[in-house]
């Protein structure tokens, strides 16, 4: 029944799950509850709503990534959100989870090892010191839109995109920098979520 619940939840986001992927998401949800919440990486008030508030909120970006986004950087990944759920449902892509804080990196390493995610690398460093470049970057609960774009732009390849998890009151006219093309993607399957904003160079 747990697998069926996960499948129903992701189906409404346009994402199909295998039984193995549903199991992996269950394991990650348990790790968040048992480790990330007590350590303060996820708010204690979200404990009873980890699935919708964090995991499904992360997964909703999966249809926005395509085969050209072979290497994806998750900036300030924290507890592995959104990178780990996306890596589970998009095994065809490689994800680099970047965070400067050792305790959060240790949690992500534990999650990656426990679940078994060969398409994930965890890296302890600040985004400002990343030398590699990527076709896509992710920013969820990381920084305001302008700062997130400034940090991502330096490491995006030509034509690269930043996927930014915005608040429900996001205003593209006032919250993004000049010279940035913005596309706002709503997620009807998660009524309480703000849009995912795709930013590219003009």
Query: pLDDT digits over 144-162, tens only?
Result: 888 999 999 999 999 999 9
Give me the mean pLDDT over the 61-77 stretch: 94
For residue 19, give both structure tokens: 């039984």
Q: Which CATH superfamily is domain 2-201 in?
A: Vaccinia Virus protein VP39 (3.40.50.150)
For residue 152, give both structure tokens: 């991502």
- Is the pLDDT score of 190 beyond 90? no
Per-residue pLDDT at 67: 83
- Is the pLDDT score of 79 beyond 70? yes
| Domain map (residue ranges) of the chain | 2-201
Query: pLDDT digits over 110-136, tens only?
Result: 999 999 999 999 999 999 999 999 999
With a pLDDT cut of 70, the percent of the chain lying above it is 95
Pairing of strands 180-185, 196-201: antiparallel
Q: What is the full DSSP assignment across 10-72? A: HHTTT----HHHHHHHHHHHHHIIIIITTTTSS-GGGGGGHIIIIIIHHHTTGGG--TT--EE
Give me the mean pLDDT over the 67-77 stretch: 93
Closest CA to 164 of 73, 39, 70: 73
Cα separation of the two ends of the chain: 47
Average pLDDT, the chain: 91
């Amino acid at each position: 029944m747990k697998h069926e619940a996960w499948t129903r939840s992701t189906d409404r986001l346009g994402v199909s799950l295998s039984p193995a992927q549903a199991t992996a998401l269950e394991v990650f949800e348990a790790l968040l509850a048992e480790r990330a919440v007590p350590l303060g990486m996820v708010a204690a008030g979200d404990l009873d709503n980890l699935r919708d508030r964090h995991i499904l909120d992360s997964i909703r970006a999966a249809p926005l990534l395509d085969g050209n986004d072979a290497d994806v950087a998750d900036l300030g990944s924290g507890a592995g959100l959104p990178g780990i759920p996306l890596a589970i449902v998009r095994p065809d892509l490689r994800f680099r989870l970047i965070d400067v804080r050792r305790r959060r990196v240790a949690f992500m390493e534990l999650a990656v090892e426990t679940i078994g995610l060969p398409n994930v690398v965890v890296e302890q460093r600040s985004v400002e010191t990343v030398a590699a470049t990527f076709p896509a970057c992710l920013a969820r609960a990381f920084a305001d839109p302008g700062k997130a774009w400034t940090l991502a732009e330096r490491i995006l390849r030509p034509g690269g995109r930043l996927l930014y998890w915005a608040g429900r009151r996001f205003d593209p006219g006032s919250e993004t920098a000049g010279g940035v093309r913005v596309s706002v993607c709503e997620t009807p399957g998660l009524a309480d979520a703000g849009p995912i904003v795709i930013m590219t160079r003009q």
